[in-house]
Each structure stands twice: as structure tokens, then as C-alpha cells.
Amino acid sequence: MNNHPLISLIIPCYNAERSLEKCLDSVTQQSYSHLEIIIVDDGSTDNSSKIYVEFQRRDERIKIFHQNNSGVSKARNRGVKAATGDYICFVDSDDWVEPDYCAELYRLLLDENADISIIEASYEDEKGNVVFYKPISEEKVFDGKQALAILLEDDVIQSHPWGKLYRSSFFKNVNFPENLKCFEDYSTLFRVFDKAMKVVRSNKKLYHYIQHEGSLSHDLSPETAYYFYLAISEVFKFWQSTTDIKNEPKITKNIIRKLLMVLKRILRQTNKEEMRIEKEEIRQFFKSLLKYSVAEIGIEYYFYLRLYYYYPNLYTKLISK
């Protein structure tokens, strides 16, 4: 196996003492053994360090880096910078993977001569109960632009960094935004996919994604919702700047749906004086969406975009009922 390319497996870690042992057990026991396992401790204050130091004592493939608590984006960026492998993949410290996680991702790349490979995930709670069933389809191969369009639709291919294997070179001049506390992956992965010529996806569920109650991405507070808006706006600006993907109804509707959801969360959980600047920023952003016709986005989205842009107070009263 050591004749195979080196894979850099990056694990951001912050106060993960409850899950870290299971996570590290799963990555150190991979059937694809030619790995460097990069743990970036984002200023943990619990016993995480005792766990990963013990694993490092037993496994020389583990490399440990420390930083002051700065968020998962900076931790991932630190891991990417430290990576020396030909390929990069990610595992979150809350999650765990099946023994063939890396082997299957690499097999897919090799068999199809692809640039990015993707496997499916099992979405579970902390007790291991499946909480979300995602429809599974057959293995598929996409050309780069097709995969990028599907990623922007955020359904068949989603924007989380885990569950994928990438050429390391694709992260050159691509960074996870360190100003976002969450949804940083949503505003990053399209930049990586834009470099791919071919992408392959398997239907095998080899990643176990653990959903926690009260996590930032699930507890969409007004502040968190605004971070999501910033990520959505980055996706939209990128999409509008491309020449190969234009006027895709699914992408347009997906972006508008997310924006309206974000806006409702903010308006319903704040009073008139709170987040005034952020609300106005979103309203001004809506101007760039007014160009879409009823035929392109449907009557509902067409109406709501104009209602908030031209009559924000009326829109606020309407959705607050």
C-alpha cells in the first residue's frame, strides 16, 4: 500500500473529548495505510490533548498542530498548509469513518481518472440512530462543469468538505473564510470544484456524520443566519462570474430559497432596531435577483423578492404572523 500516493487526512479538533477516541480509532485503522493524519487543535480546553497525544505515541503518522481558538476555518487552513500528501481529505472530530473510507475514495479516483471523489454519509445522532435518510443512487461520473452545477444546486452533491478526496493542488490559493463562524464550507467548495475536470461519486455510506443538538448549523440564530447569508452571497457572486453555468433554474431557485429562509430567521427573531445594517445589506442584495422572470423562478419567489426590496416593513409584518 505504501507504493500508493500519500493522503493527508485533516482533522480540526475543538473540545472533542467525547468523540475523539472513536474518530481517531476509525482513521488510524484505515485499510489504506499510506496516510498522514493531521490534527489541528483549535485551542481545546478539555481533555482532547490527552487523547490525541496517546494516539500519536502509538502511531507515527499522526502530526499535531496547535492554535489559539480561532474557528474551524483557520484550523482547516492550517491543516491544508501543513499537508504534504498528493491528496487531501477531511474528517471532523465529532464524526467517524468506516475502514475503507480512504481506500474507496482513492479507488474511485484511480478507476475513473478523476480529480475529486465523493462517498455518501450516514446521518446519525449521538446514540447512532439514523436521523436523516438521503436517497441513494448509482455510482456516477460527472465532468467538472456538470459537477460544479450540481454542487451549486446543493442536493445530489453537497458542500461539506468531508466525504471527499481532492487533489492537493486544488487548494492552492483557496482558503476557508476565517471571518465566518459557520457555513464556511458552503462558500469554499465551489472554488475547489471549479478546478476539477472529472468528479466521481459512490453510493457507499462510509462516513458517519453525527448531528448534535444545539450546534451552530442547526440552531440558526439571527447571527448564524447572517453568516449563512454571507456564504450564499459568495456562491451567487461566483456563479454570476462564470461563463459556463448561467441561468440554471435549479441553482437560481436554491439560492433564493436559502436567502428567504435566512431573512425570515433574522426578521422573526429580532426587533426593528436590531441588525438594521445586516437587514439593509440583504435587501440591497435582493436587487441583483430582480432580473429573474416569473417563468425562471416561479410566482412565489418573484413576489417575495419584490415585496421585501420595495416594501420591507410590509414583508416583515407578513412573515411575522
Q: Angle at which helices 312-320 and 249-268 pack, to 10 degrees?
A: 80
What is the predicted pLDDT for the residue at 292? 93
Residue 316 has pLDDT above 50, yes or no: yes
Residue 136 lies in a domain: yes
Which amino acid makes up residue 205?
K
Query: Are residues 244 and 128 both part of a single domain?
Result: no
Pairing of strands 87-90, 62-67: unpaired
- Which three cell numbers mark 85? 500528501
Which CATH number covers residue 204? 3.90.550.10
Residue 190 lies in a domain: yes
Query: Are residues 240 and 286 both part of a single domain?
Result: yes
For residue 317, give every residue at least 6 positions away whose Cβ sits within 8 Å of its Cβ, in sequence order, or none: none
Tell me which of 178, 210, 242 is where a domain ends.
Answer: 210
Categorize the per-residue pLDDT at 24 as very low, low, confident or very high, splitting at 50, 70 and 90: very high
Report the percent of the chain where pLDDT is more than 70.
Answer: 94
Q: Choose the weakest-confidence range: 6-20, 100-114, 148-162, 176-190.
A: 176-190
Is residue 50 within 8 Å of 22, Cβ to Cβ? no
Query: Are residues 15 and 40 both part of a single domain?
Result: yes
User: How many domains are there within the chain?
Assistant: 2
HSE (CB half, 13 Å, CA atoms) of 145?
6
Tell me which of 179, 210, 241 is where a domain ends.
Answer: 210
What is the predicted pLDDT for the residue at 131? 83
SS3 111: helix
Between 30 and 213, the more confident residue is: 30
Tell me the average pLDDT of the chain. 92
What is the predicted pLDDT for the residue at 5? 97
Residue 215 lies in a domain: no
What is the predicted pLDDT for the residue at 219? 62
- Which three cell numbers mark 170? 486544488
Region class of 7: left (phi > 0), else alpha (psi between -120 and 50), else beta? beta
Q: Which domain holds residue 199?
A: 7-210
Among all chains, which residue has been given the C-alpha cell 505515541? 57
Q: b/e per residue, 36-72, with b = 16+ CB within 10 A? A: bbbbbbbebeeebbebbeebbeeeebbbbbeeeeebb
Query: What's the length of the chain?
Result: 321
Measured CA to CA, the distance from residue 5 to residue 7 in angstroms comes to 6
Query: Are residues 232 and 125 both part of a single domain?
Result: no
Which amino acid makes up residue 276?
R
HSE (CB half, 13 Å, CA atoms) of 34?
13
Q: Choose the weakest-confidence range: 25-39, 78-92, 206-220.
A: 206-220
Query: Are residues 135 and 278 both part of a single domain?
Result: no
Residue 295 lies in a domain: yes
CB atoms within 10 A of CB 277: 8
Query: Are residues 203 and 242 both part of a single domain?
Result: no
pLDDT tens track for 128-181: 888 877 766 677 999 999 999 999 888 889 999 999 999 999 999 999 988 877
What is the predicted pLDDT for the residue at 247? 59
Categorize the per-residue pLDDT at 29 as very low, low, confident or very high, splitting at 50, 70 and 90: very high
Query: Are residues 196 and 293 both part of a single domain?
Result: no
Is residue 215 within 8 Å of 182, Cβ to Cβ? no
Is residue 204 within 8 Å of 124, Cβ to Cβ? no
What is the predicted pLDDT for the residue at 137? 65
Query: Are residues 191 and 252 both part of a single domain?
Result: no
Residue 2 lies in a domain: no
What is the predicted pLDDT for the residue at 180? 76
Residue 3 has pLDDT above 50, yes or no: yes
What is the predicted pLDDT for the residue at 246? 60
Is residue 181 within 8 Å of 216, Cβ to Cβ? yes
pLDDT tens track for 233-272: 999 998 888 766 665 788 899 999 999 999 999 999 999 9
Q: What is the DSSP letter of 248?
A: -
Query: Are residues 177 and 257 both part of a single domain?
Result: no
